[in-house]
Structure 1
Amino acid sequence: MEKRRFNPKTIAEAPMKDQMILEETQGHCRTLTLNRPEAKNAFNFELAAAIPAALTRAAKDRKLRVIIFRGAGGAFSAGGDIKLFQKNLKTSDQAFRKISGHLNRAIQTIAAMPQLVIAAVQGPAYAAGFGLALSCDLTVASHMARLSPSFVNIALAPNAGSTYFLPRIIGPKRALEAFLTGRVWSAPEAHALGLVNHVWPEESFESEFSAYVADLASRPTRTLTRIKRVVAASLKNPLARQLELEKREIAASSLSRDFAEGVNAFVDKRRPVFRGL
């Protein structure tokens, strides 16, 4: 069966200025587009609050298999809104607690929701935008993307889960140096370090990403959820507990209709058609 090709660019071509996040659903995929292009999708109170709300809606929709995060206007996110910070210098601690609270809820929702969440990074992903990109299950980038934990450049400690994810991906010493210097990585450098899964040229990014999403969306949904859960647990579980979790999850997955379809397709020498059952 031919995979339905997903067009992740549709929503970015018709921005609506009164919405902080644009939501577009195609088949089993939903695209969430950060929609402050005039500010390179920097997080103000409204945008930060809209992210966990949009994710919660997506998590409840069991027809969805893949959720995509991207930014409007050629940037993923420049991080926090510095103009907002300037206006709130006297109460900056309250402003940061509020925005961080919204982002924390978003990141926890990404980790808990059954769907795969993919960050599609074009342009800058800096500071809290960098943290949000790392918090997604998978991260892809165009060749011109730039990623940076740039908090120190305005004398800020990191947030948005960046101190959780970055040391686990590249190691604590490299992560510490990156935070201390505000290191900026090109997309190829980020790929070499394991920060992003794929890098595609700008001119072919949409077609490559579309094929990537279509492939993931065609796979057995419940098994993808189990894999996401088991891999995440491996970062904190001791060996014995992880082995027990694997035993439980592989046994449970073998009861699914998709498993039966996979086995029968293999024997019949045909491509399986998974239905998320």
Structure 2
Amino acid sequence: MISIMGIGFAASRLAQKFVSVKNYKVYQLNDKVERSSKYKRKIKSFDRPEEYENNIPDLKKFFSEITDRVQVFVVGSSMSSNYSLGVLEQLKDKEVEVFYIKPDSDLLTGIPKLVDKVVFSVLQEYARSGLLKSLTVISNELLENHLGSVPIKKYYDTLNESIFQTVHYLNFFEHNEPEIGMVSKPLDICRIRTIGMLNMKNLEEKWLFPLDMDRDICYYMCINKEKLETDGGLHKRLVDLLKQKPRNAFRKISYAIYETEYEDFGFCVALTNVVQQYA
């Protein structure tokens, strides 16, 4: 069982997607909650970032049944993201993975841009110091580019659904044995990550954040069951494509292949220990 948490209204809407899967407990903290309950907590909104830092809620009771593993979603530039550090402090005895949804910073100005820059920087330091198991950065701008056509009326719901599906499958891979291959365990210092979508014809990556100095890349490939049973040359073709990827003593590649009833699809995860510059 994994606890999912959304801090702020936008992140809570993303977290809500996980309610459809029974293996998750979904916690939401935002100012739109009408009445606090077991999994929803109303938090106040303010005009200035420092007011959030000075009004961190006591969540000890709210977190009383939270699981040992927690995945926290934070939307950059959201004023509620100012609560993040105070909330994470109250989860320091848990295994916490943060997913930072980064906005298009080119269009940010004033306080939202400052908030995005500060929270992005501090969360990276939390990850590098070991306070977080990992920090996964996802750019809304790049995700939209990769998805292609995204209607305005369904913009956030479409992006949220894609992020949910991606994170859920990565959780699934972690708890299930592949048909073949093995994803190597990355170095403990490599805690800053991003995710990519795979073109299964040539294993081209569509990264959701331009990670600088990636150290480990893990490829997760889901292949249709019938193809796994009948295509005798498939494994060699995939391995040959992976061998063409840049590799050296500081950049390692691993892979795992899983069965699916659907059409082929895949994801990749890149990790680094290098602080990413704000852009």
TM category (shorter chain) comes to 0.3 to 0.5
TM-score by length of 1: 0.33
Question: Comparing both structures, which one devotes a greater share of its residues to helix?
Answer: 1
TM-score by length of 2: 0.33
Question: Comparing both structures, which one devotes a greater share of its residues to strand?
Answer: 2
